Structures are given as structure tokens and as C-alpha cells.
Structure 1
């Protein structure tokens, strides 16, 4: 009987702990997409979906704005290809897209790496794919 009570108590504790972890929120994000000559609207939307999925790992944070600006994306992509992972991983320029975001951090400071009760602005999301037919994946993020 005691063993059963201990197991049930441990299960309840784990359940409460797991549900107390606040996944990054993306429900009310304002999305803006500038006209692009580089990527189709579908390609940009696919990249947005990947960023939203990744953002759920940002505990205690809420994504407020996410946008694609072709000039900024191209500039950041060139930096990535010259100085970042793109300088060594063989990714072609047409397979790099950069989205930009703002997000709020709650009192917990997210995972502890952000200033509590702050807003992160112009946060870059660098997404890559192996070729035009592959899915986007987040390769890097930050400033």
C-alpha cells in the first residue's frame, strides 16, 4: 500500500512539474511578410511555421512579432554565409532565409538567459535547407 501511494505521489509530482513549464507562446504573434523576389509566399510561410515551432522551446517567452523583410534577410544571409555556419556548411545563398522577431520575456527570465520582464527586439532566425525541395530548419538565432 505504501509503495502504491509513493508511486502515485511521484506521478502527480512529475505531472505538475511538466505542466508548470511554460512553453514559448506563439498564439498571438503578429506576422508580416514583405513582397519577395527570392522566395515564394509558401516558402516564407513554411519558414514562419518552423520558427514558431522552435520558439515553443523558449520557456516563459511570448513571440509578439515575426516578419520577413527581403533586404534585411539578404543582408543577414550574406553575413551568415561569410562569417557564420554558412561559411563552412556548404549551404547555397538561395537556401538561406532570415526572419526577424520581437518577443516578451516573463518574470522568470525565460530559461534564465534573458532579462526578466523584458522585450527582445530584432531577434534573428536563420533558417536553411539543403535544396529548394527540402524543409527549412533553424540553424541559428539571436542578434
Structure 2
């Protein structure tokens, strides 16, 4: 079974004017005009200040409206943001929901104790060994 991963591609931007801002540790960072700027998405997606103590664990409930009201809008960027947000964002979201719904309606998925995962990057996990049973629902 092939398990697809969502790969986020956020294009770099260039600063259009020099600027200085204060970092979270209190130090100042100066950015010159023309400097390439790229968000560190893996670090953002596992920041305990944003996501809580279980930031590295899979928890789909963290995206429920009541759990994400106070979260900064740039804390999760699977499709980019702003004027250059992915134009296929809504279609991708609806396709994922429809596919998952259909699979869950038609099949039961059961992981075995022998399933082993391996961290590929700080943002994704891969399976070293994925043993599961897919049982058609009656």
C-alpha cells in the first residue's frame, strides 16, 4: 500500500525594503533589501508555544474550530498564504475529505502491533514497515 504525503512547497520571497524586527528571544534581526526570506515550516509545525506540549504527535482535534480560534493564521501553511496561496486549495481539501469519507464508509482500517515508523523530516513520518488490515464493511 502506498501512503501519500502532503508536500508543502512555499516559494521564497525577497525583501522589497530593508527592515528590522525583534525576534522571540528579544534580539533584533536586520534584513537587507533583496534578501531571500523563507519560513521554516517544519519548525513552525512543531513549535510547542503554538501547538502545545504534544506538538510532535498526530492530533487532528487541534484543527477543530474551538481549538484553533486563538492560533495565529500563519501557524499552519499547507497551501501557502496571501495573494500567492495555492489556487487549487479548496479543490484539494474537498477531494481529501471525499476520499477519506468514502474509504471510511467502505472499509475498516486496523494497524498491527508490528507497524514501525521512521521520522523523515521534522514535518513528516514515513513507515519503515506498515502492516495493517483493510476489512470491507458489510
TM-score range, shorter chain: under 0.3
TM-score by length of 1: 0.22
Structure with bigger strand share is 1
More helix as a share of residues? 1
Q: Give me the TM-score of the superposition, normalised by structure 2.
A: 0.22
Higher relative contact order (CA 8 A, sep 6+): 1
